[in-house]
Structure 1
């Protein structure tokens, strides 16, 4: 018997500068752009290290788009769907 994943596989951004930048939290974008602009493109080891370091940050960055829903769920105020009207419950 082999182990099967419990949930969906995590989504990782492609290893392109555009995708990495888009996946970073807004507070890290300025540092990313500054490091990118100072990168010596003739130094392939530095280019690979830059890509790998920032891609890792993008993968590990929390998804802030769900914060409001998470806070509402913890407060018991999240409405996921319209309540069902059950027959005979009136």
Structure 2
């Protein structure tokens, strides 16, 4: 039996309008709201297409905080928690 790497499950927003909007980068929120406000709720295919398209954008949207942390780590300037001593106390 071989060990398999354990990777955390990706975090995806729920498929609700509120969660999708919250997960979008700020530059896409106005376009989301404009498309949402023009959506014909009687056209269920259009509703599903809108949901799927914008949910996909929300899932794929980069997290700018992670990008900044990654850049700082690569530059050697990422602030980390104070390390603790690894030796025993006795």
Q: Same fold (TM over 0.5)?
A: yes
**Could you tell me which residue of structure 1 aligns to residue 21 of structure 2?**
21
- Ranges in structure 1 where 5+ consecutive residues have no aligned partner: none
Q: How far apart, in 1, do the equivalents of 2:86 and 2:22 lie?
A: 45
CA RMSD of aligned residues (A): 2.3
Match of 1:79 in 2: 79
Task: Give the Cα separation in 1 of the matches to 2:41 and 2:9.
Answer: 33
CA distance in 2 between partners of 1:45 and 1:16 (Å): 16
| Corresponding residue pairs, total | 87
1:10-89 → structure 2 map (5 Å cutoff): 10-84=10-84
TM-score, normalisation: structure 1: 0.83
- After TM superposition, the score normalised by the length of structure 2 is 0.83
Tell me, which stretches of 5 or more residues in structure 2 are unaligned?
none
